[in-house]
Copies of this chain bind each other. A is one copy, B any other.
């Protein structure tokens, strides 16, 4: 297309054809993008931090009113969740996130979320709820950190059966490398901020996962269970 444009054979209007189909509403302090679901295949999502409880409730309300798909509010404080629940009802809550209008299982792929330790649970919770918001019915395998390798090996069939594996691990993050070597399916690694001292609040796990010797493992941000689920939603039917 670039050649045609440069030589003048087509007009720039074609360039913007796709951009043009993107209406949105203006709530004053937050542009709500109703067609995002169509554009990216994602449910509507709101990031909680920095918003007042009232803002959270209002934005969730606008999304529920003008759309018909799932609405997900992430990284909420207790006050934010209370304000939203008071107006819109309980929804599904896990890992600090709240989900309204959870879809039924509409996607066929098998997704497995694996954690290295019990303390990685909240990040996995956020990931699982986000996967549900995308229509997956994810599976879960907890507490299989590499220092007790037999626990992972006893579950190796579940790992190899999955169409994608999300690995949540703090400390040294070694689990991602090991899982990456056990399966040829996509592996999305989530460094968690679990641990203390040299764990550097997740930075060590993030670096270690990037230095992984298992080819083709990809990484999302620290504690970003939401992002890992969105990555899976991009990859799988």
Contacts and interface: CB of A to CB of B under 8 A. Distances in A.
A19 interface: yes
A14 to B, nearest CB: 8
Interface string A1-17: 11101101001110111
A182 interface: yes
Nearest to A134: B216
Contacts of A221: 196-199, 210-212
A222 B234 contact: no
A94 interface: no
A214 B45 CA distance: 12
Contact of A1 (B49, B158, B230): B158
Q: How large is the interface on A (under 10, 10 to 19, 20 to 34, 35 or more residues)?
A: 35 or more
Contacts of A151: 2, 24, 31, 33
Given A180-B147, A219-B220, A171 B19 contact: no
Contacts of A184: 39-42, 234
A132 to B, nearest CB: 15
Contact of A210 (B117, B211, B220): B220
A83 interface: no
B174 A146 contact: yes
A142 B29 contact: yes
Given A16-B153, A205-B208, 4 more contacts: A15-B153, A19-B150, A210-B222, A216-B232
